[in-house]
């Protein structure tokens, strides 16, 4: 049956593939295709894991003390029975032999199928057996981890289907750090039930440059394993089991988008200069040192935001020490070959917990609002030893290239003072230890309205300013950016938001202080001319967005819209006023072009 699911569009383009349902807790399972020649050995791996688990369960049963309740032994019997049941063992083998999935992936795919069947059972006792199947699969996955495949890694067979059907991932939610696992993976698109346009999972998905729709609320319940799915990442629509005509229509659009991207990529080495000669700096947002290559490839002239927190996430408390951090920062700095790298100090908290947790789990476990809690600089200042460790690592990297330090979420003058105290102490410690570092510029993110309102205080202390529009919108409008139920109210066009951004840019420019926008608005072509009109000359975005923003810049005249800026900002409906101003500007350009053609 064909049907549609609607959500929040977060990454454009069209993806067509078979649905791969993955439980949020199992997204870190390796997903890769195996060659025809390895099928038998992969099935053998699975068999080996099953024998190991069978021995574990039997040993547990034998070791059971006589006074133990009889239910416990009966439970182990149930687990042994499930382990050997065809619905688990032969069906999993089938995913390996027919689809060429690696054993871990095959197991989690089959678990999803079974979980559905259990959920739909009327009988409560039987429904509860789902937890037993999950436990057995968990044991099997652990046994497989102890006998890793000789061929595989998550990156193996990346998007090279070798005749396989392409796959799109469907999950209730994916934690931001888990999303990073999917860089270059087998998936060609993503669908999640929760999340908003600027939730960090959505931001990372956008960075992967594959179509994604989030906040669908129930896609993972409605879509079945293996259904054919079309993701329209521009409209935020998911078409499940499309008719041949609809499918052909989307295939056509897919080809068109491919051609457009190809022609855009030719702008890579073209300097970003407007029609009236204003040179614009286009920088990249990265999450890992390895992303620096994509930044250069896209023609970025530096890194405007290195979200260092991804290095700290999902490590079960084992945080990277100073040397490990230093190596990572140095890798990014050296990869940029002398171009500036802006490293932001750790911004954990809110929807980026240190340990693996999806948004749903966060909401469940933290009834209090984590976005307003101990996050970013607040967390760093509460962990002074860790903070100084990070500062020392960043400072040491500055001996290897041009590094800038950026501090997130500042709001209080006191936080500014404590931050500079920490930097001074970190420098002193390095000097005492005879460690090399350079004098680096220090910048503040303006992402809390309080900071935008008392901007002169920030301008007095910092060398540069970076506007984090994602959080600035969230905190100005009191809308949780990760909450799909209020996603419609998360409005970058709100006059209050635009006034705060315009005011920040104007005040920084008035005293010649460098100001950049590094939130998602910078990479959204709907805002390019508006930000230029506000006076912005530095944009930082995901590498994949640079070409299309540059195309808009090459066609823009900053003077035209600047005249209308005041009226747009004063309007009740700035979006409509801006669209009207853009139309008028396009007409004027056409008339001028026609005039000069006649005069020639």
Which residues are known catalytic residues? 200, 518
Closest by CA position to 341, among listed 426, 283, 258 = 283
- Sort strands 237-240 and 3-6 into parallel, antiparallel or unpaired: antiparallel
Using the rule CB under 6 A, is 518 a contact of ligand PEP?
yes
Q: Which is nearer to ligand PEP, 17 or 349 (CB)?
A: 349
Q: Are 520 and 197 in contact (CB under 8 A)?
A: yes
Residue 469's binding partner out of Mg ion, ligand PEP, none, with CB under 5 to 8 Å set by partner kind: ligand PEP
Q: Pick from 232, 471, 480, 484: which binds Mg ion (CB under 5 A)?
A: 471
Using the rule CB under 6 A, is 469 a contact of ligand PEP?
yes
Taking CA atoms, 69 is separated from 61, 75, 77, 128, 255, in Å, by 12, 11, 14, 20, 63
CA dist 595 and 600 (Å) reads 9
Largest CA-CA distance found in the chain, in angstroms, rounded: 103
Q: Which is nearer to ligand PEP, 227 or 415 (CB)?
A: 415
Q: Which is nearer to ligand PEP, 45 or 206 (CB)?
A: 206
Using the rule CB under 6 A, is 519 a contact of ligand PEP?
yes
Question: How many binding residues for Mg ion (CB under 5 A)?
Answer: 3
Residue 201's contacts (CB-CB under 8 Å, 6 or more residues apart) are: 173, 174, 175, 176, 179, 192, 195, 214, 351, 359, 482
Taking CA atoms, 106 is separated from 48, 54, 186, 195, 587, in Å, by 15, 19, 14, 27, 57
Q: Phi and psi (nearest 5°) for 421?
A: -60, -45
From the list 73-81, 379-387, 467-475, 505-513, the region that binds ligand PEP by CB under 6 A is 467-475
CA dist 184 and 348 (Å) reads 25
> Whole-number minimum distance, CB 200 to ligand PEP, in Å?
6
Using the rule CB under 6 A, is 471 a contact of ligand PEP?
yes
Using the rule CB under 6 A, is 468 a contact of ligand PEP?
yes
Residue 375's binding partner out of Mg ion, ligand PEP, none, with CB under 5 to 8 Å set by partner kind: none
> Whole-number minimum distance, CB 186 to ligand PEP, in Å?
27
User: How many Cβ atoms sit within 10 Å of the Cβ of residue 367?
Assistant: 7
CA dist 108 and 565 (Å) reads 53
Q: Report the site for ligand PEP in 200-219 (rule: CB under 6 A).
A: 203
> Whole-number minimum distance, CB 284 to Mg ion, in Å?
16
CA dist 70 and 507 (Å) reads 74
Residue 505's binding partner out of Mg ion, ligand PEP, none, with CB under 5 to 8 Å set by partner kind: none
Q: Which is nearer to ligand PEP, 152 or 302 (CB)?
A: 302
Q: Are 330 and 311 in contact (CB under 8 A)?
A: no
SS3 3: strand
Q: Report the site for Mg ion in 425-454 (rule: CB under 5 A).
A: 447
Structure tokens at 432: 């005492």
Q: Pick from 215, 443, 468, 492: which binds Mg ion (CB under 5 A)?
A: 468
Using the rule CB under 6 A, is 7 a contact of ligand PEP?
no
Residue 518's binding partner out of Mg ion, ligand PEP, none, with CB under 5 to 8 Å set by partner kind: ligand PEP
User: How many Cβ atoms sit within 10 Å of the Cβ of residue 299?
Assistant: 19
CA dist 49 and 139 (Å) reads 9
Question: How many binding residues for ligand PEP (CB under 6 A)?
Answer: 11
First and final C-alpha spacing in the chain: 61
Taking CA atoms, 498 is separated from 190, 441, 459, 486, in Å, by 31, 27, 20, 20
Q: Which is nearer to ligand PEP, 242 or 492 (CB)?
A: 492
Residue 554's contacts (CB-CB under 8 Å, 6 or more residues apart) are: 267, 270, 272, 273, 274, 275
Q: Report the site for ligand PEP in 359-418 (rule: CB under 6 A).
A: none
CA dist 408 and 160 (Å) reads 38
Q: Report the site for ligand PEP in 277-316 (rule: CB under 6 A).
A: 305, 307
From the list 113-121, 168-176, 456-464, 469-477, the region that binds ligand PEP by CB under 6 A is 469-477
> Whole-number minimum distance, CB 34 to ligand PEP, in Å?
36
Q: Binding string, 320-359, against ligand PEP, x = CB under 6 A?
A: ---------------------------x------------
> Whole-number minimum distance, CB 73 to ligand PEP, in Å?
51
Residue 427's binding partner out of ligand PEP, Mg ion, none, with CB under 5 to 8 Å set by partner kind: none
Using the rule CB under 5 A, is 529 a contact of Mg ion?
no
Structure tokens at 574: 């700035």
> Whole-number minimum distance, CB 468 to Mg ion, in Å?
4
Q: Pick from 470, 538, 558, 571: which binds ligand PEP (CB under 6 A)?
A: 470
Using the rule CB under 6 A, is 447 a contact of ligand PEP?
yes
> Whole-number minimum distance, CB 187 to ligand PEP, in Å?
23
The residues binding ligand PEP (CB under 6 A) are 203, 305, 307, 347, 447, 468-471, 518-519
The residues binding Mg ion (CB under 5 A) are 447, 468, 471
């Amino acid at each position: 049956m064909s049907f549609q699911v609607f959500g929040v569009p977060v990454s454009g383009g069209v993806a067509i593939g078979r649905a791969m349902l993955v439980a949020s807790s199992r997204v870190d399972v390796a997903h890769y295709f195996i060659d025809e020649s390895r099928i038998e050995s992969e099935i053998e791996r699975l068999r080996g894991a099953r024998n190991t688990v069978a021995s574990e369960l039997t040993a547990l049963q034998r070791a059971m003390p006589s006074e133990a309740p009889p239910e416990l032994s009966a439970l182990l019997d149930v687990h042994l029975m499930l382990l050997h049941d065809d619905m688990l063992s032969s069906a999993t083998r089938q995913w390996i032999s027919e689809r060429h999935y690696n054993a871990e992936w095959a197991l989690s795919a089959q678990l999803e199928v079974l979980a559905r069947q259990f959920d739909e059972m009327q009988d409560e006792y039987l429904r509860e057996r789902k937890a037993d199947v999950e436990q057995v699969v968990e044991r099997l996955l652990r046994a497989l981890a102890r006998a890793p495949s000789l061929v595989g890694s998550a990156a193996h067979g990346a998007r090279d289907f070798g005749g396989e059907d392409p796959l799109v991932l469907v999950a209730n939610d994916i934690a931001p750090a888990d999303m990073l696992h999917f860089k270059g993976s087998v998936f060609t698109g993503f669908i999640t039930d929760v999340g908003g346009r600027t939730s960090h999972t959505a931001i990372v998905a956008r960075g992967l440059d594959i179509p994604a729709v989030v906040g669908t609320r129930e896609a993972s319940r409605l879509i079945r394993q293996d259904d054919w799915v079309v993701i329209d990442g521009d409209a935020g629509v998911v078409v499940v089991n499309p008719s041949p005509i609809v499918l052909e229509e989307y295939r056509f659009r897919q080809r068109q988008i491919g051609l457009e991207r190809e022609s855009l990529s030719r702008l890579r080495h073209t300097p970003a200069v407007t029609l009236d000669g204003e040179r614009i700096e286009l920088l990249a947002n990265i999450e890992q040192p390895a992303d620096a290559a994509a930044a250069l490839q896209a023609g970025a002239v530096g890194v405007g935001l290195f979200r260092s927190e991804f290095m700290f996430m999902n490590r079960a408390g084992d945080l990277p020490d100073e040397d490990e951090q230093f190596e990572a920062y140095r890798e990014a700095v050296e990869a940029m070959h002398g171009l500036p790298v802006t490293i932001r100090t750790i911004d954990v908290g809110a929807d980026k917990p240190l340990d693996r947790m999806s948004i749903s789990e966060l909401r469940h476990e933290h009834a209090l609002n984590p976005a307003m809690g101990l996050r970013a600089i607040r967390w760093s200042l509460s962990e002074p030893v860790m903070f100084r460790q990070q500062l020392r690592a960043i400072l040491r990297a500055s001996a290897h290239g041009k590094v800038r330090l950026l501090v997130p979420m500042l709001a209080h003058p006191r936080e500014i003072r404590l931050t500079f105290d920490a930097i001074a102490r970190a420098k002193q410690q390095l000097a005492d230890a005879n460690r090399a570092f350079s004098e680096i510029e220090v910048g503040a993110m303006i992402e809390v309205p309080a900071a935008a309102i008392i901007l002169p205080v920030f301008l007095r202390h910092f060398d540069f300013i970076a506007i984090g529009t994602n959080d600035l919108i969230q905190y100005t409008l009191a809308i949780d950016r990760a909450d799909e139920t209020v996603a419609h109210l998360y409005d970058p066009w709100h006059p209050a938001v635009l006034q705060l951004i315009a005011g920040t840019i104007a005040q920084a420019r008035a005293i010649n202080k460098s100001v950049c926008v590094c939130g998602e608005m910078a990479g959204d072509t709907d805002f390019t001319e508006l930000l230029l009109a506000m006076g912005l000359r530095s944009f930082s975005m995901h590498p994949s967005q640079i070409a299309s923003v540059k195309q808009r810049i090459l066609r823009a005249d900053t003077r035209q819209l600047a005249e209308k800026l005041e009226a747009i900002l004063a309007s009740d409906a700035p979006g409509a006023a801006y669209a009207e101003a853009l139309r008028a500007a396009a007409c004027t350009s056409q008339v001028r072009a026609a005039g000069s053609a006649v005069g020639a």
